[in-house]
């Protein structure tokens, strides 16, 4: 991994091929969301350079693409640094994911004649008031973007309200809907997690501070219904792995860590590893997605859905508001208001396997209906790709 500080200050410029398509995605979730688009570019024999902001995003990109793309940290958004970076990169096109709007970056691209497309653009409930209050500034800063491919009609309307001409906005859907099923052998994953191959598996995914404690308080009730239940806890951030291990010990819960040998007596496995969650979805019976019992905004429900798994989530899902609404309408997601409702929802799924089967079947059907999103986006981008 290159030195982050050096690359922030363009003291260590990445080795790139001029004319690459520059894709920018902030973090792990955003890298995952554009992975299908990057793969489509590679399949079309386009060179790709990806910039990221977070360490988890960098690691995710390395796992997904290895040496097939060039990869670096995004420089600080200072005019002279961005001008130097863009001049070094000489990209044929910039694809800017979600709301990664950097004025210095956009100004440098405009001056050097680099077309810019906003892909998967969204304006969240939380950020929209700020954009609207400063819309005069954003009109000027976003002017270099040739057009925006919005996630939803709501996002398109918000772009228009902050002053983006309607002719530069088109709704194509959420690129996160184009996620691919993980390339894993589910039987091998099952053997590693549950050598017996018999235990029902509950995945508690992408949890944040205070969520694990709430789940552990409920867990005895679920285990009384299904004594053989195996719960996988997957904290969102690796720096919290040790803290959750301590919490499990304090509660007297028998657990193992991801890489440890299974005893068959553990009720919980702490998944203290990165990049394995999507593969675990292939063996789940019930999936709860965290970042939602506390006010984080939720996490991507499409990663389990593409594996044919419906989801249970808390009410704080503003980051995926439209997706969850669509999945709820399809019968592929259950949104609970608090810990008590979560207890009741999963209790019901444990007691009523037919309802659980229906939830998962509807998730698979929902994903089949989303397959056109990447094609729609590709059709809009293709005229900008130089041959």
- Residue stretches of the chain with pLDDT short of 50: none
Residue 30 designated active-site: yes
In a domain, 349, yes or no: yes
Number of structural domains found in the chain: 2
107 plus 248 within the same structural domain: no
Q: According to the model, what pLDDT value does residue 180 have?
A: 78
In a domain, 181, yes or no: no
In a domain, 179, yes or no: no
163 plus 211 within the same structural domain: no
pTM higher than the cut 0.85: no
In a domain, 72, yes or no: yes
Q: According to the model, what pLDDT value does residue 167 have?
A: 97
> How far is Cα 167 from Cα 123, in angstroms, rounded to an integer?
18
CATH code, domain with 377: 3.40.50.11720
Q: What is the pLDDT of residues 213-224, one digit of tens each?
A: 999 999 999 999
Q: According to the model, what pLDDT value does residue 235 have?
A: 97
Which one from 30, 98, 212, 303 is the annotated catalytic residue? 30
100 plus 155 within the same structural domain: yes
Q: What is the pLDDT of residues 225-242, one digit of tens each?
A: 999 999 999 999 999 999
160 plus 216 within the same structural domain: no
Domain limits at 297? 186-368
In a domain, 323, yes or no: yes
> Contact at 8 Å (CB) between 58 and 71?
yes
258 DSSP β-pair partners: none
């Amino acid at each position: 991994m290159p030195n982050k500080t050096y690359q922030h200050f363009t003291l260590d410029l990445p080795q790139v091929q001029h004319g690459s398509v520059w894709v920018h995605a902030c973090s792990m979730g955003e890298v995952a969301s554009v992975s299908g688009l990057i793969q489509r570019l590679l399949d079309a024999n386009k060179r790709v350079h990806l910039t990221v902001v977070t360490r988890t995003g960098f690691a995710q990109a390395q796992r997904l693409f290895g040496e097939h793309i060039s990869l670096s940290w995004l420089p600080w958004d200072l005019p002279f640094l961005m001008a130097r970076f863009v001049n070094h990169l000489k990209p044929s096109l910039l694809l800017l994911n979600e709301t990664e709007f950097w004025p210095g970056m956009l100004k440098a691209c405009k001056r050097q004649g680099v077309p810019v497309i906003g892909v998967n653009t969204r304006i969240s409930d939380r950020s929209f008031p700020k954009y609207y209050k400063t819309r005069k500034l954003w009109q000027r800063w976003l002017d270099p973007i040739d057009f925006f491919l919005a996630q939803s009609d709501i996002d398109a309307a918000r772009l228009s309200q902050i002053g983006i001409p309607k002719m530069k906005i088109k709704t194509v859907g959420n690129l996160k809907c184009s996620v691919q099923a993980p390339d894993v052998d589910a039987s091998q994953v099952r053997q590693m997690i549950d050598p017996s191959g018999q235990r029902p598996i509950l995945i508690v995914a992408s949890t944040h501070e205070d969520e694990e404690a709430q789940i552990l308080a409920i867990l005895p009730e679920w285990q009384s219904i299904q004594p053989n239940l195996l719960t996988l806890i997957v904290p969102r951030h690796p720096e919290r792995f040790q803290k959750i291990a301590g919490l499990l010990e304090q509660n007297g819960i028998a657990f193992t860590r991801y890489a440890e040998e299974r005893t068959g007596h553990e009720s919980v496995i702490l998944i203290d590893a990165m990049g394995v969650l999507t593969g675990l979805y292939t063996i789940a019976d019930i999936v709860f997605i965290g970042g939602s019992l506390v006010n984080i905004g939720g996490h991507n429900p499409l990663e389990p859905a593409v594996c044919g798994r419906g989801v249970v989530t808390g009410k704080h899902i503003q980051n995926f508001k439209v997706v969850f609404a669509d999945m709820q309408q399809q019968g592929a997601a259950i949104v609970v208001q608090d810990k008590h409702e979560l207890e009741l929802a999963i209790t019901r799924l444990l007691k009523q396997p037919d309802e659980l089967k229906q939830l998962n079947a509807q998730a698979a059907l929902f994903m089949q209906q989303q397959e056109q999103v990447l094609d729609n986006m590709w059709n809009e981008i293709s005229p900008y790709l130089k041959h």
